[in-house]
């Protein structure tokens, strides 16, 4: 007998759960791309995207995933041969650095490992040492989805300002947007990249590049940018097709409209607060499980943890066994451990992640935690007792904040 039949729950850190409203909005006949509703509806997305990113500046939309957004951000601001400082706090920082290198950009990679945020002192030292201002941009991952570490993007702006360094500040918010608080203008971010399939609750396929006036100036100073990646017309189209450099991603746009309606109705601050409480419930459960046995949160300090995803260490083979058990027996799919060990290393089986981004609420989180508890019990993995009660206390508002 399996207890998995019923609505499945994909609790991985993207793609995330899609709201019924999004699915319904996408279930429609092909719309006219030359006139009518789609044209006006698309224009209505722009102010709401800006509101979610907390910016009054520019946004370009691409038919791409996050990797496309990485490429677009660099293609519009840097020449081959330019130098950038890239911080890595997990797999995704390395990924963006690789994209830069393949565009012919010289990368100074600053690796902070898999369990720590960006160290602002090291960024400051590198910027102070760069008296010739060879570094054209500082690239940082707000939330690294592999490690679930949260870095201080505003702190990097403060360091740039304190050192008087003119480099652009670029942030990868693909995991964090609409989950963890992010303030593009308030934090002085020049370029921010995001995707549709995480906090924005839309299927993978749309990428967003938000950019400041200063970044727009950097684009204008470039001798050439490949047509498809050029953000100029996308952010300021004279014709509808220019938003997308070709045919519009029609159904994704309707899905995005529905998702933004949900976010706007809830309010972005409330969206952040919901993610905060749900994350704390998950952390309370994990902390309790970890009191006995091998489970441990990858990021020890709650102040440095993302509210979109939680990375866990449980030792091989428990991570893979637990994922298998909860999927087959409880209908909950957990995330694999990413970048913590090589896939052919037996240690690879010692990690998993819980995605809690986007369309998640208290009953979903409590359900996923209950499924994990059942899995730990079924597999005889030692764990502390009272985890669900601890999570419930957070949901009930009866627990002082853990971070
Ligand atoms: C998911 C993710 C990416 C990659 O996005 P894709 O859509 O898979 O290309 C990059 N950075 C971060 C932080 C992510 O979470």
Residues of the chain with CATH 3.90.1150.10: 9-16+267-402
Q: Is the CB of 145 under 6 A from ligand 1?
A: yes
- Per-residue pLDDT, averaged over 206-221, amounts to 98
pTM of the model: 0.97
> What pLDDT does residue 159 have?
98
Alpha helices in 63-183 (DSSP H): 66-75, 91-102, 120-129, 153-163
- Per-residue pLDDT, averaged over 348-364, amounts to 98
- Cβ neighbours of 260 (radius 10 Å): 22
Q: Which atom of ligand 1 is nearest to the CA of 70?
A: 10
Give residue-wise pLDDT tens across range 277-302.
999 999 999 999 999 999 999 999 99
Q: Give residue 146 CA to ligand 1 midpoint distance, Å.
A: 10
Domain 9-16+267-402 has CATH 3.90.1150.10: yes
d(CA 67, CA 88) in angstroms, rounded, equals 16
pLDDT at 115 over 60: yes
Percent of residues, the chain, with pLDDT higher than 90: 98
Environment class of 48 (CB within 10 Å of its CB; exposed 0-12, middle 13-18, buried 19+): middle
Q: Give residue 91 CA to ligand 1 midpoint distance, Å.
A: 10
> What pLDDT does residue 398 have?
81
Confidence of residue 400 (pLDDT cuts 50, 70, 90): low
- Nearest residue (by CA) to ligand 1, atom 9, is 66
Check residue 234 and give left, alpha or beta (phi > 0: left; psi -120 to 50: alpha): alpha
Q: Is the CB of 14 under 6 A from ligand 1?
A: yes
Q: To test ligand 1's pocket by mutation, which of 10, 14, 148, 252 has the most ligand atoms within 8 angstroms of CB?
A: 14
CB 77 within 8 A of CB 54: no
Q: Which residues pair with 141 in a beta bridge?
A: 172
Annotated binding-site residue numbers: 353
> What pLDDT does residue 403 have?
46
CB 116 within 8 A of CB 88: no
Q: Is the CB of 152 under 6 A from ligand 1?
A: no
Q: Which residues pair with 86 in a beta bridge?
A: 109, 139
Check residue 148 and give left, alpha or beta (phi > 0: left; psi -120 to 50: alpha): left
> What pLDDT does residue 39 have?
97
Architecture of domain 31-264: 3-Layer(aba) Sandwich (3.40)
- The mean predicted confidence, pLDDT, of the chain is 97
> What pLDDT does residue 399 have?
74
CB 262 within 8 A of CB 21: yes
Q: Is the CB of 67 under 6 A from ligand 1?
A: yes
Alpha helices in 267-346 (DSSP H): 268-289, 318-330
- Per-residue pLDDT, averaged over 42-50, amounts to 98
Environment class of 375 (CB within 10 Å of its CB; exposed 0-12, middle 13-18, buried 19+): buried
């Amino acid at each position: 007998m399996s207890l998995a039949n019923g609505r499945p729950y994909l609790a991985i850190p993207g793609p995330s759960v899609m709201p019924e409203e999004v699915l319904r909005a996408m279930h429609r006949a092909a719309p006219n791309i030359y006139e009518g509703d789609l044209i006006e509806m698309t224009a209505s997305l722009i102010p709401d995207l800006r509101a979610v990113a907390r910016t009054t500046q520019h946004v370009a939309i691409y038919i791409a995933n996050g990797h496309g957004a990485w490429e677009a951000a660099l293609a519009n601001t840097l020449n081959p041969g330019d130098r950038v400082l890239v911080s890595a706090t997990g797999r995704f920082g390395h990924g963006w650095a690789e994209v830069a290198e393949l565009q012919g950009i010289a990368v100074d990679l600053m690796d902070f490992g898999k369990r720590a945020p960006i160290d602002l002192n090291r960024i400051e030292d590198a910027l102070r040492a760069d008296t010739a201002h060879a570094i054209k941009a500082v690239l940082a991952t707000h939330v690294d989805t592999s490690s679930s570490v949260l870095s201080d993007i505003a702190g990097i702006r403060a360091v740039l300002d304190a050192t008087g360094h003119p480099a652009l500040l670029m942030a990868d918010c693909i995991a964090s947007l609409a989950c963890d608080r992010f303030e593009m203008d308030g934090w002085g971010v020049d370029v921010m990249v995001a995707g549709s399939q995480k906090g924005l609750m839309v299927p993978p396929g749309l990428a967003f590049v938000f950019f400041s006036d200063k970044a727009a100036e950097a684009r204008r100073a470039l001798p050439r940018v490949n047509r498809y990646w050029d953000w100029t017309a996308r952010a300021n189209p004279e014709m509808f097709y220019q938003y997308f450099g070709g045919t519009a991603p029609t159904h994704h746009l309707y899905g995005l409209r529905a998702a933004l309606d949900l976010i706007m109705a809830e309010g972005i601050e409330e969206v952040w607060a919901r993610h905060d409480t749900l994350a704390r419930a998950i952390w309370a459960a994990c902390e309790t499980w970890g009191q006995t046995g091998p489970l441990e949160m990858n990021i020890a300090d709650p102040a440095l943890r993302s509210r979109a995803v939680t990375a866990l260490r449980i030792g091989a083979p428990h991570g893979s066994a637990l994922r298998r058990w909860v999927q087959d027996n409880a209908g909950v799919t957990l995330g694999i451990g990413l970048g913590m060990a090589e896939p052919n290393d037996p240690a690879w089986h010692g990690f998993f992640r819980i995605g809690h981004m986007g369309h998640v609420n208290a009953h979903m989180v409590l359900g996923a935690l209950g499924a994990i508890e059942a899995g730990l019990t079924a597999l005889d993995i030692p764990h502390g007792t009272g985890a669900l009660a601890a999570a419930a206390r957070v949901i009930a508002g009866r627990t002082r904040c853990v971070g």
